[in-house]
Amino acid sequence: MGGQTQDLHAATPHRRRNQLTGEWVLVSPHRATRPWQGQLETVAGDARPAYDPTCYLCPGNSRANGAQTPDYRSTFVFDNDFAALLPDAPTGPYGSGDLLVAEPERGICRVVCFAPRHDLTLGDMDGPAIRQVVETWTDQYVELGGIPWVRHVQIFENRGAMMGASNPHPHGQIWANESMPNEPAKELTRQREYSAEHTGCLLCDYAEIERRADERTVLENDHFVALVPFWAVWPFETLVLPKAHRHALPDLMPAERDGLADMLRRLARGYDSLFGVEFPYSMGLHQSPTDETSHPEWHLHAHYYPPLLRSATVRKFMVGYELLGQPQRDITPEAAAARLREVWR
């Protein structure tokens, strides 16, 4: 996208297609200067202690259900005490007729503590410690994906109270589903269609276009690239891609796992620098389904969805037209990428 077309997209309303899902996002760059008199978010100020005796996830403390968190020294994984999915859900039809359709859904939900210290984030941890997080995620994907009825393993992190994190201790979650969730299912369909039509990988080809254009790429190392996708919905959304075609974490070579750990650390630090706060986001890894079927078209990737719009106190909400029509954004992906690149220079 260059020349006159680029200028047009920077100033006038247009829509962009999300090639991973097939859906559209409305871009309204002329609205970026509108005054804001809406809700302002509260920004956390005081630093957290290294150990909090009231935190369920700090080593040695009791959790809400009475279980005790062990005195762990690295990562720690346990089944969520208040899981959204259960492995022993009853079977049988739930709905009635063609319109009232429901079915049981089995699953396993786990919590992954990234570090024993209460006051850290992925941006504060050193490379070896984050590499251990990557290894833990890999082991969990293999273990949960090896259960015969598990078809998808979703690894994610909700960072900050704004994103619904109920505990500030550095941690993430893993949900293993009996069926494919909506977003990965759409991505699987699109990647499969693209591969059949072009005899190539959608995200490999897309990453190459972005690296040549150098408009939306914000961070890169030897093995991974982070960019603001052309179709981004969230103001400072990023997509993280391995440069080599890899399906899931177990496919990464040791040096590539180091590269992923480096990317996780630098992204978290850069986001924190953008607005001078502990930046809230939802991050998730999308890996190949675990349905005992080969998926050569699938390319491992991670999504970062941060809600902050223009400052630490102004947040983007999905309301009105976005709930009833389609997603919409005011800041163009190119403008967001330019602001992010300034952080890492």
What CATH number corresponds to the domain at position 206? 3.30.428.10
Q: Consecutive 10-residue runs of the chain (345 residues): their mean pLDDT?
A: 52 88 85 55 71 95 92 96 87 73 88 97 95 98 97 95 86 95 96 95 97 94 97 95 98 98 96 88 97 95 90 78 85 92 83
Where residue 292 falls (left for φ over 0; alpha for ψ -120 to 50; beta otherwise) is left
| Residue 62 is assigned to a structural domain of this protein | no
In-domain check, residue 173: no
List C-alpha distances in Å: 278 to 48, 121, 160, 333.
Answer: 11, 9, 8, 22
* 194, 202 contact by CB (below 8 A): yes
Domain membership flag for residue 120: no
CB-CB neighbours of 231 under 10 Å: 21
Number of domains in the chain: 1
Active site residues: 171
* CB of 226 closer than 8 Å to CB of 96: no
CA–CA distance, 309 with 281 (Å, rounded to integer): 12
CA angle (92 as vertex; 107, 106 as ends), nearest 5: 0
- Give me the residues paired with residue 217 across strands: 227
Residue 105 is assigned to a structural domain of this protein: no
| CA separation for the pair 87, 301 (Å, rounded) | 27
Q: Is residue 145 part of a domain?
A: no
How far, in Å, CA of 304 to CA of 229, rounded? Answer: 11
Structural domain includes residue 95: no
Both structure tokens of 313: 């106190």
Q: Is 36 helix (H, G, I), strand (E, B) or coil?
A: coil
> What range does the domain containing 20 cover?
16-28+181-344
What are the φ and ψ backbone dihedral angles of 32, each rounded to 5 degrees? -65, -20
DSSP, res 17: E
The pLDDT of residue 75 is 98
Q: What is the DSSP letter of 169?
A: S
Helix/strand/coil for 149: coil
Element (H, E) at 205: helix 202-213
**DSSP-assigned letters across all residues of 92-143:** S--SBTTTB-----BEEEEEEE--S-TT--TTTS-HHHHHHHHHHHHHHHHH
**Residue 166, pLDDT score:** 82
- Edge-first strand listing for the sheet containing 238-242: 76-79, 107-113, 171-177, 152-159, 281-286, 301-305, 238-242, 224-227, 217-220
pLDDT for 60: 96
Q: Do 44 and 57 touch, CB atoms closer than 8 A?
A: no
Beta strands in the chain (DSSP E): 14-17, 24-27, 76-79, 107-113, 152-159, 171-177, 217-220, 224-227, 238-242, 281-286, 301-305, 328-329
Measuring CA to CA, how many Å separate 51 from each of 79, 118, 119, 125? 22, 5, 7, 16
Q: What pLDDT sits at residue 3?
A: 43
Question: Residue 322's pLDDT is what?
Answer: 82
Contact call for residues 190 and 202 (beta carbons, < 8 A) = yes
The four Cα atoms 318, 12, 14, 200 give a dihedral, to 10 degrees, of -110
Kindly report the pTM of this predicted structure.
0.92
What is the spatial distance between Cα 306 and Cα 155, in angstroms, rounded to a whole number? 17
287 inside domain: yes
34 belongs to a structural domain:
no
